[in-house]
Chains A and B, each alone.
Chain A
């Protein structure tokens, strides 16, 4: 059974840092692109970062470029998102999402991690 379990949720002050982790199980982790998608409460979904299966390529949305860093540990089937210089507008639920193989898309989603940036 495929499982994606996020951890690292929390409340942080503007300008602070937080690191999200996603523990993956039930599949060959290194075969899949992995993504972080966030959702502001009551609003839509936005993909903010992605990383290729072997970790050789990363992508960031303009809104987080230079502040967030995505990484992965294939030996331990783990995905990470280091978030620095956090802003109030980064407040959202952050989902760890697995990419489909062969055709662009997403299949499995984690339960989400709430990140609140507030003074």
Chain B
């Protein structure tokens, strides 16, 4: 079973830029893995941000973008807001079967 790895925690200053990554134990992540990204705040369900590597949902703030970077899936937040403090989860699909990463706790400080 593949393992999806994310940074356990990251800290960013308000107004700054931060990139979260999502790596696969099987090798380089490509668009075939259809990376998805989700944001979860305490006591709330996850909220979808990105699917298909870089496709945003209608509700996704423009400061969030997805890409492939150095063999990993990446989520970049540009112009971070205090309300972006949350846990972020990625999903990679292996033959159509989704595997979640362990999540990144993003602190805005």
Contacts and interface: CB of A to CB of B under 8 A. Distances in A.
Interface string A93-119: 001000010011111111110000000
B42 to A, nearest CB: 10
A95 B96 CA distance: 19
Contact of A44 (B34, B48, B93, B101): B101
Interface string B75-95: 000000000000001010100
B64 interface: no
Given A105-B48, A107-B57, A109-B46, A46 B34 contact: no
Which bucket holds chain A's interface residue count? 10 to 19
Interface residues of B, number: 21
B58 to A, nearest CB: 10
Interface string B34-59: 10101000000111100110010100
Given A44-B103, A104-B93, A105-B34, A110 B52 contact: no
Interface of A: 44-47, 59, 95, 100, 103-112
